Chain A
Amino acid sequence: MHVQPGSGIYFVFVAAVFFAYWASAGSRLLRLAVILLANYLFCARFGLFYVLLLPVCSSLDFLIGLGLMRAGRPPIRRVLVALSVGLNLSVLVVSRHMGVLLNRHGWDWIFPLGLSFYTFQSLTYTIDLYRRDGEGTTSLLSYLSAVTFFPTLQAGPITRVTELVKQLGARPALGRADGGRAFFLIGIGLLKKALIADYLAENLVNRVFDTPKLYSGAEVLIAVYAYSLQLYYDFSGYTDIARGSAMLLGIRLPINFDRPYASANVTEFWRRWHMSFSNWLRDYLYFSLPGVRGRIMPYVNLVITMLLGGLWHGVTWTFAIWGLLHGTALAATRGWLAWRGRPKQPASPWRHALAVGGTYHFVCLTWIFFRAGSVADAMTILGRIGSLTASFENVTALFAAVLLVGAGAMFAGKQWYALAMEWFAGRPFYVHAAALLLVAVAIQFLGGRGNAPFVYSRF
């Protein structure tokens, strides 16, 4: 049984870690040991081999980090960072793609806990040290507890290890309001996942993407809209739970989403969608490519960066097309803004709405490739939409209501969200407890579907 974030056992696990952590908070050594033990217990539930693999890889990166902290000569620093990049990319590639080779020889190769987010997080440390962008640590315990910090391990948010090391090393504190904020995030994350994302997935999206020919063009289009919301609520729900879990330990993780479908162009979309990933791509991939300050290369690099970002999700034509579409759109937006110059006045509301609508529909187009099993499936879905047939027999009133609520909540001003969080954070513990109980009951009786894996947990 995996400790899947959002599941009952995950919260029992978090509660146990909470009490152990704060009981030992007076001693830095003890509380780091608690975090490290929690990290490895979390991994071990997916496979005992992680408890061997991760400490070995992490310790090697730690040693490389020590080398980077001490080495002054650029060639040595380059060799060290190349070693770290090679090590982490090897872990990433071997864990995800070795199965294809081994299956031909009668073996299965299974990594139930994807290591993508671990390797991304791990690389932030050595690359930051190489660029002298962060402070390293000489404490192996501190490094190990940060690089495999369990709330971020499965699907982020990707957090700079230097930042985690700093937070874990500091004397922890958790006021009543922060505790309330953590519960608010966990509760909202659960509701997003179970009542919106899973509902949309199970009641139309999965069916339509499985057998699009059984649905009218209008229903397929609605399913694509629903998938855009499903993905947002699934992933941002996961992030909320991860951030809330970390906050219970006094650790602050970065936000990952900021109403992304309200973006007026694709560049803005990537500043608001999976922000820790797009920041990682920008900081560690895009800026590492040659010709950043050239005239043409920045555009080419954008396409290359997004193509690689697409292929990170899986080496398939669908993800490649998804990445290429986004890369091309980012390059086109950059070119357009460079040619037109930054607007001196804000766009009129109508023009802004048009831009938001256009961007949203472009993103939906790319989601078709992201979700479809093959390019042929994606073309079938596009063909169904293009058939312009309209019937709504598979779209129930409840489904439409959930879709509208999801869309409305997505576009609601974030000040409302912040106000609600602060109001909730200021309530006494029994109000927090009652609210969490209500969330649990609502999910059991309204959701009633168990907990499906988070979409991004497979990457």
Chain B
Amino acid sequence: MHEFPLQTGLTIATVGLLLAGLRLVAPAGKGPETRHFAVIVDFSDSVALSPLSPHKEPEAALVPKLPAGKLSLLDDSAGVLDHFYAALWRTEKREEGAVTRIVHYGDSPTTADLITGDVRVQLQKRFGDAGHGFLLVAKPWAWYQHTGADVSGSGWQMAPASRFVSHDGMFGLGGVSFTGSGSARSRMVFGNGGYTQFEAWYLRLPGGGEFSLWADGRALGRVDTAGDSKAPGFAAFRTESATAELEIHVERGSVRVFGITAEGPGPGVVYDSLGLNGASITVLSRMYNEQHWAEELQHRNPALVIVNYGTNEADFAEFVDRQYEKELRDALRRIHTALPEASVLVMSPMDRGRRNGGEIETMPTIPRIVEIQKRVARETGCGFFDTYAAMGGEGTMARWYAARPRMVSADLIHPYPGTGKMIAGIFTREIGAGLGRYKLRVVGR
């Protein structure tokens, strides 16, 4: 044989044998298999005979695979959402001043107003636009954004409830406390012509300073935040004509501000998108001062509170199995205690993928979280929306990541805007169906 490179051949053979042996020790490991040799010369699989082929539509990634017998993605049995439906029906009937307020607590997608922004648009298209709702006064995260409103602020010290530093637990309705003095400024620009009713949400506190509000460059009023003790403060203002640009200036001393609500006269829907990056259910069950949060919620008086966490918890399997249910029950108890009349809806997380040996798979904790949420919601008088099932259940992230054009970000967590719109569409469709069922029940009584 012509000068066979024996040493090199031995190396290849040894590596092959070692890797094959490794498979015996660790079956999950990859090593050469006899089928690899066969694959090289086996053309019976999908190796194309021609570059030209009839166009085939990609696999329908969007069609939800619902469990057999499941009628609805929204569980509103036992009338748990009736308070909300009643308010929504009044709004739909255009009763004077009938404003349906929805408060939606969520994590990073909500921070960017993904899904929630589209839900707001879709609900307001059907039921009327009564305002943008709650806005933080600056961006605690670069990606804090709201559809239809632009927020910028400077000079504020920001303390989000999701940073696991509780301080005094007073984070306002939106979950972020902004402390500012002389140089602090905020500016909000509303896209659709503006609003006429504004309310500043702040903390009254001993020695509190003063801030002012400006509407389209004109002074709207000043707010003195001094108080005997720490307590929620609210200052409402009206403008004669729609205001598209609102500013906040700190005029004196130091103030703690939580946010601004922007509304119109109604009737219509107001949808508060309250997203905290990296948040989990413990924000509501632990980080908030219960009394403070209750007062904030009571002042807002929403018809529906949506609790939409679970994605970040999925990283911690032990927490999910041992602690998650208790935290969820605590959070829901706090809301029910603060707002005994309001409807509460637990909205499950979306699918969350992870890469495993080149394959994308659903994180095993996600279906477990969804099951816990479903059970706890039923047992605590809450509605439940199964976002996970609405997307298509297990493996959805893999399908959506593989879809062309792609539907989710490479982090396998965040939907692309178009995907968020699609999920929002399913959610609002289910809300509409639930409202229809409610009307039939009420008329039938």
A and B together in one complex: yes
B20 smallest CB distance to A (angstroms): 11
B273 smallest CB distance to A (angstroms): 15
**A interface, how many residues as a size bin?**
35 or more
Q: Which residues of A contact B55 (CB under 8 A)?
A: 103, 106-108
B40, A215: Cβ atoms under 8 Å?
Answer: no
Instruction: Decide if A312 is an interface residue (CB 8 Å cutoff).
Output: no
Instruction: Decide if B8 is an interface residue (CB 8 Å cutoff).
Output: yes
**B interface, how many residues as a size bin?**
35 or more
Instruction: Decide if A436 is an interface residue (CB 8 Å cutoff).
Output: yes
B203 smallest CB distance to A (angstroms): 25
A17 smallest CB distance to B (angstroms): 10
Instruction: Decide if B69 is an interface residue (CB 8 Å cutoff).
Output: no
Residue in contact with A389 in the complex, picked from B18, B142, B278, CB distance below 8 Å: B142
B6-59 with Cβ < 8 A to chain A: 7-12, 14-16, 18-19, 22, 29-32, 36-37, 39-41, 43, 45, 47-56
Instruction: Decide if B316 is an interface residue (CB 8 Å cutoff).
Output: no
Instruction: Decide if B362 is an interface residue (CB 8 Å cutoff).
Output: no
Binary interface encoding of chain B residues 99-113 relative to chain A, with 1 for a CB under 8 A from any of its CBs, else 0: 000000000100010
Q: Which residues of A contact B8 (CB under 8 A)?
A: 18, 174, 176, 178-179, 182-183, 248, 429
Q: Which residue of A lies closest to B142 (CB)?
A: A216
* Assembly CA distance A111 to B22 (angstroms): 36
A393-B277 contact in complex given A45-B40, A215-B142, A441-B22, C-beta closer than 8 Å: yes
Instruction: Decide if B217 is an interface residue (CB 8 Å cutoff).
Output: no
* Assembly CA distance A15 to B277 (angstroms): 50
Chain B interface helix/strand/loop/mixed: loop
A8-B36 contact in complex given A110-B51, A213-B145, A433-B15, C-beta closer than 8 Å: yes
Instruction: Decide if B168 is an interface residue (CB 8 Å cutoff).
Output: no
B36, A49: Cβ atoms under 8 Å?
Answer: no
A448, B357: Cβ atoms under 8 Å?
Answer: yes
Q: Which residues of B contact A13 (CB under 8 A)?
A: 40
One of A203-211, A229-237, A353-361 contacting the partner: A203-211
Residue in contact with A106 in the complex, picked from B2, B14, B54, CB distance below 8 Å: B54
* Assembly CA distance A176 to B278 (angstroms): 55
Instruction: Decide if B323 is an interface residue (CB 8 Å cutoff).
Output: no
* Assembly CA distance A181 to B406 (angstroms): 41
Instruction: Decide if B95 is an interface residue (CB 8 Å cutoff).
Output: no
Instruction: Decide if A428 is an interface residue (CB 8 Å cutoff).
Output: yes
Chain A interface helix/strand/loop/mixed: helix
A12, B32: Cβ atoms under 8 Å?
Answer: yes
Q: Which residues of B contact A183 (CB under 8 A)?
A: 8, 11
A49, B48: Cβ atoms under 8 Å?
Answer: yes
Residue in contact with B43 in the complex, picked from A48, A95, A179, A214, CB distance below 8 Å: A48
One of A19-27, A141-149, A152-160, A296-304 contacting the partner: A19-27
A437, B18: Cβ atoms under 8 Å?
Answer: yes
Binary interface encoding of chain B residues 356-370 relative to chain A, with 1 for a CB under 8 A from any of its CBs, else 0: 111100000000000
Q: Which residues of A contact B236 (CB under 8 A)?
A: none
A109, B51: Cβ atoms under 8 Å?
Answer: yes
A1-B39 contact in complex given A19-B9, A174-B5, C-beta closer than 8 Å: yes
Q: Which residues of B contact A133 (CB under 8 A)?
A: none
* Assembly CA distance A37 to B248 (angstroms): 75
B108, A214: Cβ atoms under 8 Å?
Answer: yes
* Assembly CA distance A15 to B11 (angstroms): 10
Q: Which residues of B contact A111 (CB under 8 A)?
A: 51
Instruction: Decide if B355 is an interface residue (CB 8 Å cutoff).
Output: yes
Q: Which residue of B lies closest to A430 (CB)?
A: B14
B397-416 with Cβ < 8 A to chain A: 406, 409-411, 414, 416
Instruction: Decide if A386 is an interface residue (CB 8 Å cutoff).
Output: no
Q: Which residues of B contact A289 (CB under 8 A)?
A: none
A384, B142: Cβ atoms under 8 Å?
Answer: yes
A449, B355: Cβ atoms under 8 Å?
Answer: yes
A391, B141: Cβ atoms under 8 Å?
Answer: yes
Q: Which residue of B lies closest to A176 (CB)?
A: B7
B318 smallest CB distance to A (angstroms): 21
Instruction: Decide if A451 is an interface residue (CB 8 Å cutoff).
Output: yes
Instruction: Decide if B143 is an interface residue (CB 8 Å cutoff).
Output: yes
Residue in contact with A22 in the complex, picked from B5, B409, B416, CB distance below 8 Å: B5
A417-459 with Cβ < 8 A to chain B: 428-430, 432-434, 436-437, 440-441, 444, 448-452
A214-B40 contact in complex given A44-B47, A102-B52, A108-B52, C-beta closer than 8 Å: no
* Assembly CA distance A109 to B112 (angstroms): 38
Instruction: Decide if A217 is an interface residue (CB 8 Å cutoff).
Output: yes
* Assembly CA distance A376 to B355 (angstroms): 29
Q: Which residues of B contact A451 (CB under 8 A)?
A: 358
Instruction: Decide if B228 is an interface residue (CB 8 Å cutoff).
Output: no
Instruction: Decide if A288 is an interface residue (CB 8 Å cutoff).
Output: no
Q: Which residues of B contact A47 (CB under 8 A)?
A: 47-51
A433, B358: Cβ atoms under 8 Å?
Answer: no
Residue in contact with B11 in the complex, picked from A12, A201, A436, CB distance below 8 Å: A436
Instruction: Decide if B443 is an interface residue (CB 8 Å cutoff).
Output: no
* Assembly CA distance A18 to B8 (angstroms): 10
Q: Which residues of A contact B22 (CB under 8 A)?
A: 437, 441
Q: Which residues of A contact B278 (CB under 8 A)?
A: 393
Binary interface encoding of chain B residues 76-99 relative to chain A, with 1 for a CB under 8 A from any of its CBs, else 0: 000000000000000000000000
Instruction: Decide if B1 is an interface residue (CB 8 Å cutoff).
Output: yes
A26, B2: Cβ atoms under 8 Å?
Answer: yes
A1-B52 contact in complex given A202-B410, A448-B357, C-beta closer than 8 Å: no
* Assembly CA distance A47 to B10 (angstroms): 33
* Assembly CA distance A177 to B409 (angstroms): 46
A434 smallest CB distance to B (angstroms): 8
Please give me the 9 A-B residue pairs with the lowest Cβ-Cβ distance, nearest first: A450-B358, A179-B8, A206-B410, A26-B2, A433-B14, A216-B142, A174-B5, A214-B143, A12-B36
Contacts beyond the supplied A41-B41, A48-B49, A211-B409: 17 A-B pairs with Cβ under 8 Å: A8-B30, A12-B37, A15-B32, A44-B47, A49-B49, A49-B51, A107-B55, A174-B5, A179-B5, A207-B409, A207-B411, A214-B143, A393-B278, A433-B15, A440-B15, A444-B29, A450-B355
List, sorted by A's number, 10 A–B pairs whose CB atoms are closer than 8 Å: A1-B45, A15-B32, A18-B9, A22-B9, A26-B1, A49-B48, A102-B52, A108-B52, A108-B56, A210-B411
Give the interface of B toward A (CB within 8 A): 1-5, 7-12, 14-16, 18-19, 22, 29-32, 36-37, 39-41, 43, 45, 47-56, 108, 112, 139, 141-143, 145, 277-278, 355-359, 406, 409-411, 414, 416
Give the interface of A toward B (CB within 8 A): 1, 3, 8-9, 11-13, 15-16, 18-19, 22-23, 25-26, 41, 44-49, 95, 102-103, 106-112, 171-176, 178-179, 182-183, 201-202, 206-207, 210-211, 213-217, 219, 248, 384, 387, 389, 391, 393, 428-430, 432-434, 436-437, 440-441, 444, 448-452
